[in-house]
Structure 1
Amino acid sequence: MAHVLVVTLNPALDLSIQLPQLEPGAVNRARSSHLAAAGKGLNVARVLVALGHRVTLSGFLGADNDTAFVQACQLDGIEDASLRLPGETRINAKLAEDDGRVTDINGPGIEVSEAALAELSTDLVARCETASPAAVVVTGSLPPGVTPEALAALIQALKTSGVPVWVDTSGPALASALAVLPHAAKPNEQELADWAGEPLTDASTQLDAARRLHAAGVEESILSLGAEGVLWISRRGEWQAIPPRVEVRNTVGAGDTLLAAMLHGVIADLSPQETLRQATALAAEAVRHVGVGDPHASDFQQLRQQTSVSRCGEAHVGRGV
């Protein structure tokens, strides 16, 4: 289908540990553990590839332990364009309990110099101008040395190429990113409340804040509400989705799955109903296991049919296509 450029400034090797229940201060015995290349950018890239797109993954990697990322990109058919820096890519520990609770212990990341960030920015803008990707996704946290203001400058530089910029980050980084009005953003409830400057106590205040974000200039305003669903405000209208009930095993990767699937629907010019239905169902599929959503899961079509989509303020009158 389309070519998408995904940028992850602070990737990680994920040490995923599954255990019945975490007991702080005690010896915990894991049911399983797995170390693999991960991070929000790789998650988004994997979903986009699974949905049929060609993906270039860029950002920073530690030169001393990049083997897992090289192998992951080769296995998944992702073009590896990350800039290598001296040192090691961070390791994030993810402790997943049987009740679905996940405890993240994240490393800080490699120190990024101004020169390295400038080199990456120049390369990304050049790729936008020469390859004309359908979109650029900037996702994840910031490594040491990259300030929220520097992220905003990077997004602004990418916007000048004319390529839509989709953003998924948090905290001060998200605040700075929203200030320069990316094409799309996917905050959760607390992140949108921080931007709006007030708590979002009910569906009405959630919808109002999402509308305000869109009115401010973020064309695709996507509010992720977890098990309560998704709000999507854009020129296509105001839409809401309620996911099917599934057994939650691990929520890591669900938000990345949602973002990638929403982008897929937009660039594939699907109807807003089908875009939101597919993205919400795929995010629900993701929480059933470790990793991102699998659009080829044997029961994915059933999950789609069990996902309710309607215009905001309307009753949910049915599920399915």
Structure 2
Amino acid sequence: MSEGFGAKVPADVERPDRVLAGLTARQVAILAATAATVYGQWWVIGRVVPLIVFAVLAGPLVVAGIALAVGRRDGVAVFDLARAALAFRMRARRLHTRPPGTGPAAPGWARERAHYSRYPCGRTGQLRLPPHAITDTPHHPAPLACLDLGTSGVAVIAAASTVNFSMRTDTEQYALIGCFARLLHAQTGPVQILIRTHQIDLRPALAELADSLGRLPHPTLRAAATAHHRWLSELATDTTLLTHQVLLVLREPTHLHTTQPGFTGAVGSGRRVAAVTRLAQRLDDARRTLAGAEITLTPLSPEQAHAVLATCADPTRDPTHGWTHSWEHTP
């Protein structure tokens, strides 16, 4: 691509607005609270203790307030780091997929070791994954999986093909960038582009090849196909084959304040149906837009979405074995 093409993007696109003296509203609130606390301490004890003693007592509070307000580490505000550390400390450390009391109990030696361990494991809790159910989208020509995210809305997943960008001419590269820009500008809701690495399952290809061996007309062709089948079998056994997959995830919030999962509930069912309809329209618009860049967008069926979520949660698990005890799969 020619050197004349370029665009300036801010380093922090989510930086909040400055409201006073180059400070954000949160920074002003922290500094104001710190100043009010120090003034309150001076009003209470400032008249009965020497000034140097009050400075020693109030100094750590002032330093902590300034650090929380304007301090940054590795590009992240100290306030955000402190909030994340506090949230991590308060939440459960060990999560399980079964409700308490429904699964098999741990062996006695394990419970005894955990009780007398020098390093306590912390609180335990139930693992609650975002998808509550995977359903088929009605009134859609192709099978389309719709993920019920509860109060976070609904989402659909589509697999996108790839194109070679570096081997295109400048004009073609401009066209590809323009197509991608139109896709981003056309989005009316949250969107995620996920590039993941997963293992290749050669068993379907091997089964199809083995089934076609007897139908080949010439012995030489059958021998070549048999040798190729043997080579693929050895490759699948001795080597871990990896590939990349590009997924486009579209989400539509429902602004529904309910904890009941699924699409069949009476509360908010109309909003969910409307959100699913908007998702299907957004997916069709994205498919038509990416077609101009020679990118094929294929919506995932409920079975395919179930396998993708299972392998994302446990990459070492065989996706053909399904996934249970994590979310409900509604066919």
Whether TM exceeds 0.5 here: the answer is: no
Answer 1 or 2: higher relative contact order, Cα 8 Å, separation at least 6: 2
TM-score, normalising length: structure 2: 0.20
Q: When you count helix as a share of all residues, which structure comes out higher?
A: 2
Q: When you count strand as a share of all residues, which structure comes out higher?
A: 1
TM-score, normalising length: structure 1: 0.20
